[in-house]
Structure 1
Amino acid sequence: MAFHSAQTQASVFERPVLWAPPKRAIDPAALDEKCRQLRERLLDIARAHQHTRLASSLSAEDMVITDVILRAAEQGESHQDIAAHIDIFTLETGRLPAETLALLDQIQAHYGVRLAIYTPDESAVQAYIEQYGLNGFYESLQARRQCCDIRKVVPLAAALAGADAWITGQRREQSVTRSDLHLQEHDEARGISKYNPLFDWTEQEIWAYVERYSVPVNALHYQGYPSIGCDPCTKAIRVGEDPRAGRWWWENQDSRECGLHVHN
């Protein structure tokens, strides 16, 4: 009996409890207000700029914003400016998980829209691989940041060319590097405005919205991944860990940004 008990305890420790989307109920009226506020924020952004773009990482947060944008016409004539003046794009780095790529097809099936996709320069990727190896980003912070620069930062610059504002799905709760996030920032590197309309949303509110409106999301979210990037740089996390603990997990927590949000 004692041996069986020891085996049972060992098996518990061998199977850590992974993060999962929260299921705690949100007051419907409170969620209604959050949704109204988000639509108004996006409407204000759309009317303040000529060329605004949502940089979608295809995260649950970005899918919430995407859903509001693509369903804006249903909210009445006053909200049609949101869909008309905010374009959506994503970065296909060449190392994304299959589940992330599958979400692109789900978005098209659900909304009838194909997102604009930007990819890295193939010659730059090949030069990196020749210098560092395919997975050389594990070896040093410099090598990792150079990989992110080639696969994300440079394509982002191309995606934002001609834009006077861009939108992200960042939230304060996500990381220590984002705890001081504000609704509006100035992107000094690109000389344009930057908005974080979900900056004050909680994880529970994000997933309450996803459930209410049946928003398509990455299947990896249901396998312990709150934050999803490139496949070799992302892993599932345990309950209670920092939401971005699975991103570049071999690095110090304070350095876990790819370079897209350099001022956070």
Structure 2
Amino acid sequence: MQNIENKVAYITGATKGIGFGIAEALVQNGLKVAISGRDIKALEKAQQALGSENILILESDVRNYNDQLKAVEQITSEFGKLDIVIANAGVGKFAPVDEMSLEDWNAMIDTNLTGAFYTLKATSGQLKTNKGYYISIASLAGTNFFAKGAAYNASKFGLVGFTQAAMLDLRDYDVKCTTIMPGSVTSNFNGHTPNEDDNWKIQPSDIGQMVVDLLKMNPNVLPSKIEIRPTKTK
């Protein structure tokens, strides 16, 4: 198994939900972790909850490429390098395609798809130098379409395709790329407050453990696309 202690990771959209669950798992395994988001108060709260000195918070918007370049500068200045990038930031708005607002469409494409591209492009130099790992958090909505999901489906279908193509582009640099496609996850997504009714779902800690398992895997092995579902439905 790969030794991942003291590796440096960058997680976008990590103040809660899946991103926070991944950050927590990485910290517990001895990594130095940078987490980003648009709300500085939420970042400070997450930093306190993670309870580690090896946490760097970055007020950053994945929709802004210059923000991602600045994030790389801050991470390498603080930790000296960057090994692992988790493109997790995402939003969801659901409406019939004829009623979908331009603002909601653009928010999803710009965050869920273009944001993942900006994040990888800005970090690719460090990943190539350090033979790193890029993981995008997609969704089963990236392969299963549903009513009122046109924009969300488009962003996640695109993210799955983007990550798979990036895997082919970067594998000769010994950079791994994986997309994780969760089903129902207990999270704060779309304004939801987790409660006991969510206990049947995948937990953020489960995704965190999956990321740890990927990072520890034999370097000759690359699970490029992973679908994960709850064992049972509600």
| TM-score between the two structures when normalised by the length of structure 2 | 0.38
| TM-score between the two structures when normalised by the length of structure 1 | 0.35
Structure possessing the higher relative contact order (Cα contacts under 8 Å, 6 or more residues apart):
1
